[in-house]
Amino acid sequence: MARDNQSIVTEFIFEGLSSQPRTQTILFIVFLVFYLFTVAGNIMIITVIRADCQLQSPMYFFLANLSFLDIGYISSNIPQMLVNLWTKKRTISFSGCAAQMYFSLAFGMTECVLLGVMAYDRYMAICHPLLYTTVMNKKFCIHMVVASWTISLLSSMVINSLTLRLPFCGPDILNHYFCEVPAMLALAYTDTTLVVLVIFIFSILIAFIPFLLIITSYIHILFAILKIQSAHVQSKAFSTCGSHLMVVSLFYGTAICRYMNPKSRPPQDRDKVVAVFYTVVAPVMNPLIYSLRNKDMKHALGRAMNRPKSLFI
């Protein structure tokens, strides 16, 4: 196949995380367990929140959406990696790579915005409890989730369109375990300065601004909690925020480092390890964090186990 007298890449070959057969087998088992646990854990959280009348609040509405996002996010890259590890065939078509890149970026961006929205929810609940039910009403929460999805899907479309318009004339070896924009830029057969600039701008808008919202919200929350006289109320307030902060630290810390510096240099092994944290570790940890650290979720899980049939009514 030719274009402008140059052969173009029609498929990519993943280098993956390791080329050693034994290590690949171990990685297959580990990531399969992680994937199944993530999907099962997040489905459990969604089901329990939907079934338990005591969890019908904005906080758990956003948590259910976060769980859905985590399922989509990990499903956008791990199944392909498992296939590659099992079959030892590391190729992916250009169109398959484009789809994977689009959905993984869209899910990741949506999660960034949603985590910011969840921080604002905690800010309103702790700093302005009298206004909480008025401001954080059902309509507003739905609008926030829809806005998070819309902004992220459109942003991913722009970034992917610019990336895929670049000429890929070789090499076709992708130094990664899934199709990620920075890794793709390293293979482009032209100057990628404009695309890198666009990615940086969207990183500011989609990732860094929500991150600032999270930091600002928790500064106000901290001061509000310190003013509370009751140690029990303080402990409960810290408990509701602790789970969210752990999730933010896992996901945001690594994702920002990767996408705020999307240079088109060949990706290093360190970049792949960083990617594992926000594409695999963060989604697999979220069900654990929210089910083990959140007392309301633990009580709801206990009630669900005592009356399992209620989950399916």
**Which fold, 8-312?**
Rhopdopsin 7-helix transmembrane proteins (1.20.1070)
What single-letter DSSP state applies at residue 230? -
**pLDDT value, residue 139:** 93
**pLDDT value, residue 2:** 37
Confidence band of 276 (pLDDT split at 50, 70, 90): confident
**pLDDT value, residue 250:** 76
**pLDDT value, residue 264:** 45
Q: Give Cα separations from 103 to 18, 99, 264, 282 (angstroms).
A: 24, 6, 21, 17
CB of 159 closer than 8 Å to CB of 199: yes
Two tokens at 269? Answer: 């092994």
Percent of the chain with pLDDT over 90: 26
Strand partners, 6: 3
CB of 109 closer than 8 Å to CB of 156: yes
What single-letter DSSP state applies at residue 5? T
Q: Which residue has the higher pLDDT, 219 or 260?
A: 219
**pLDDT value, residue 310:** 47
| Out of 128-132, 179-183, 247-251, 270-274, least confident range | 270-274
**Distance in angstroms (rounded) separating the CA atoms of residues 300 and 54:** 8
Report domain extents, the chain: 8-312
Confidence band of 259 (pLDDT split at 50, 70, 90): low
Given a cut of 50, whether residue 129 has pLDDT beyond it is yes
What's the pTM value of the predicted model, to 2 decimals? 0.83
